Chain A
Amino acid sequence: MSAVTADQRAGAAGTPVPASPTKKRGRRAPASRVHLAGWGFVTPFLVAFALAFLAPLAYSVYLSLFRNQLIGGNQFVGIQNYLAAFSDGKFWDGALRVGLFLAVQVPVMLAIALVAALAIDSGRLHGKSFFRIAIFLPYAVPGVVAVLMWGFMYSDRMGLTGHLNDWVGFALFTPYTKQWILVAIGNIVTWEFVGYNMLIFYSALRTIPGELYEAAALDGAGQFRIVRAVKLPALRGAIVIATIFSIIGSFQLFNEPNILKTIVPTLISTSYTPNMYAYNLSFVGQQVNYAATIAIIMGVLTAVIAYVVQLRASREND
């Protein structure tokens, strides 16, 4: 049941309440006082929201309509930046790369997180608090540190990879090659965020009322049947939320490749992900306006995909 359908239903029920100011003039005063009080309560939020979200957004849109050149200065160019972006191979390469990353890494990560949450929740695991903390711990490691750590481990000269390859006698693991670098990044991101998603799933599992399990047990359901019939349906909301967070995270992919770039500069280009592209354009290339354009397009893309996922999830719900 989505908000949209609920609104439609309200409309269909045919209960329009058109304001008829002439008739209700007498009762207007108290009504507006109530309204004012309401505004008073939400104003602090609205101010913060406007400053933190709307202002930067509006400013970005404003910036994206200009072009500031080293020669020629600043001028209004309308939607030219957008037209340029739509035919910019570098931008779309980056966008496709994060799209591919999303399609592969997110399901893998969420599946691992789901299995971990179900295992910890099953009550059949010894030392479940230990596992819960251990799986969550990587999330507490600052992202930059995590990437540097993995960056060293991936190194063939001094890292774990080098030792493993020495041990098996040939180059089995080659994370620092064109074919594997994206997988290597996916591995880091998965390691970082499995615990976070596991915790979302686990807390959702803890809210399932005990009666459901009792009922299931009475009906003779085994553990796997309980998982399928009770736990997974109860997790639907959490899975949708985790998926949307992960989509946003994937489209914002920046830290991991950008730090690995210092170790393998030729493997990861300056336009490897759209965020890296925007960053390099604005901070090194002084093309703030075009960077704003790219950020806005990516923002819209992210919103659209997140919305489609949410819409699909709610339709299946109905």
Chain B
Amino acid sequence: MRLNRVHRTIAAVAAATVVGATLAACSGGSEDGGTGGAEGATAEEIEAALQEGGSMTYWTWTPQAEDQVAAFEAAYPNVDVELVDTQGAADNNTELQNAIAAGDGVPDVIQLEYQSIPQFQLPGQLTDLSAFGYADLEDLYTPSTWGAVSQNGGIWGLPQDSGPMALFYNKAVFDQYGIAVPATWEEYVEAGRKLHAADPTKFIANDGGGDAGTVTSLIWQAGGKPFQVDGETVTIDLADEGTQKWADMYQPLIDEELLGDIPGWSDEWFAALGDGTIATLTTGAWMPGVFESGAPAGAGNWRVAPMPTYDGTPANAENGGSAQVVPAAAENKLLAAGFLKWLNSSEESVELFLASGGFPATVSDLQSDEFLSYESEYFGGQKINEVLVAGADSVNPGWAYLPWQSYANSIFTDTVGQAYLDRSSLTDGLAKWQAENVAYGTEQGFTISE
């Protein structure tokens, strides 16, 4: 009999733990914090606050952050910046969500990818920096990065870096198999066939269907505008002309098994970049620094070329890139505003950022001779920044991410990713992705048109 009572308790506890385990960490609580637009300050007031000092927290996963914070504290000895390394965008965003929901431990300044800004801005969780006069900083930054931080009538952050796409290719592999650098996507697919036929262990590209970020950028590059956001109205059309252009180009790569499926950013992936298993990579201009630290074995073999085009007309997109923002619940907004401006516009800070392979968002740095004439040893002495900066000029205008892009990306594998797995139609996968996003957007209170 005692045993049975134990069992009943177990059953009850079972229920409690299943429920509790999932929820212990994610208290909900509504957050209708203000937009922060009310309490503004002038440049003098901010400067005075920085001189007076205090302590603040800064969350980021930028590798250069430690150096930047040290330089800032040297310039403003009374300010104490507590730096928290959030390891990456995913953890960073989750931690911020939790802190905002808990109403406690919200950082004063935090890094956000451009695509994640709307998700925090819409519910009023970010401070409008135009109250500090930061709208005047517009000319410092490239139009696409400024566009990403200024929307819905406010300035929600200052750009840290940008990621115009480029074609990174392994010249050693291309030379070995007599493959020319593809200028069009048609040539690219053909190069993929030739390479894989010559050596079945090598792939023109690695994409196992788990990388929504790259695919959305490729759609952007093809001229697609599947997401349009106008306040609370969101248009989703993953069958528009540009998106279809990408799908038609990409389908043969999937059908003919020309793509590698190594998990991105894994040790295996870096090894494959180093040893030539993956022959090309279409990604953002921030990649060279990652190459150098992650795939040292590939040193000297890699080169940078402009993105392949569909019809010979240069066209490009952005991939990745972040801004720093001030949450609405930040406690030391004056310090935060001062630090943020120093971080992403002062010469001293940007120089530190560039020193270890960062790709800036500031126009003056992008156009400086020193930056453009830099010869990268890893890329065989190529002046890579000339190619990368030129790529920024042809970024297709008018792209927008969904206000729930990180969730949309998470279900990408469930929908579009299935086309990779089954070697089935990308168009069908995109239609499923659209349907799930329409359902989610409706659930979240948006007006959705398709």
Contacts and interface: CB of A to CB of B under 8 A. Distances in A.
Interface of A: 1-3, 6, 52-54, 56-57, 59-60, 63, 66, 68-74, 157-158, 178, 237, 240-241, 244-245, 247-248, 251-252, 261-267, 269-271, 275, 278-280, 282-289, 291-292, 295-296, 298-300, 302-303, 306-307, 310, 313-314
Contact of A306 (B11, B210, B445): B11
Contacts of A288: 23, 26-28, 101
A53 B418 contact: no
Contacts of A73: 30, 32, 123
29 contacts: A1-B1, A52-B20, A53-B20, A56-B23, A56-B24, A70-B123, A70-B446, A73-B123, A248-B14, A252-B18, A262-B263, A263-B266, A265-B263, A266-B208, A266-B418, A270-B414, A275-B21, A279-B22, A283-B94, A285-B410, A295-B19, A299-B15, A303-B11, A303-B15, A306-B7, A306-B10, A306-B11, A307-B11, A310-B8
Nearest to A275: B22
A200 to B, nearest CB: 13
B309 interface: no
A292 B30 CA distance: 15
A284 B440 CA distance: 12
Given A244-B7, A264-B208, A292-B28, 20 more contacts: A2-B1, A54-B16, A56-B23, A66-B28, A68-B30, A73-B30, A237-B3, A241-B6, A248-B10, A251-B18, A252-B21, A266-B418, A266-B420, A270-B411, A282-B22, A286-B97, A286-B407, A298-B18, A302-B18, A307-B7
Contacts of A283: 26, 94, 97
A265 B208 contact: yes
A71 B22 contact: no
Contacts of B7: 240-241, 244, 306-307, 310, 313-314
Contacts of A63: 23, 27-28
Contacts, number: 187
B404 A70 contact: yes
5 A-B pairs with the lowest CB-CB distances in the bound complex, closest first: A265-B210, A71-B445, A74-B30, A69-B445, A72-B445
A69 B443 contact: yes
Contacts of A275: 18, 21-22
Nearest to A283: B94
B444 interface: yes
A120 B273 CA distance: 50
B333 to A, nearest CB: 23
A300 B14 CA distance: 9
A266 to B, nearest CB: 4
B102 to A, nearest CB: 12
Interface of B: 1, 3-8, 10-24, 26-28, 30, 32, 94, 97, 101, 119, 122-123, 208-210, 232, 262-263, 266, 268, 403-404, 406-407, 410-411, 413-414, 417-418, 420-421, 440, 443-446
A271 B414 contact: yes
A56 B407 contact: no
B231 to A, nearest CB: 9
Q: A interface, by DSSP: helix, strand, loop or mixed?
A: helix
A283 B209 CA distance: 22
Q: B interface, by DSSP: helix, strand, loop or mixed?
A: helix
A56 B30 contact: no
Pick from B3, B22, B209, B445 the residue with the most CB of A within 10 Å: B22
Pick from A291, A300, A303 the residue with the most CB of B within 10 Å: A303
Nearest to B21: A252
A264 B404 CA distance: 24
B413 A270 contact: yes
A284 B410 contact: yes
B413 A266 contact: yes
Nearest to B118: A70
A275 B23 CA distance: 10
A57 B16 CA distance: 6
Pick from A271, A275, A284 the residue with the most CB of B within 10 Å: A284
Contacts of B263: 262-265
A267 B20 CA distance: 28
Nearest to A245: B10
Contacts of B17: 248, 252, 299
Pick from A60, A262, A292 the residue with the most CB of B within 10 Å: A60
B23 A291 contact: yes
B440 to A, nearest CB: 7
Pick from B18, B208, B232, B263 the residue with the most CB of A within 10 Å: B18
B10 A280 contact: no
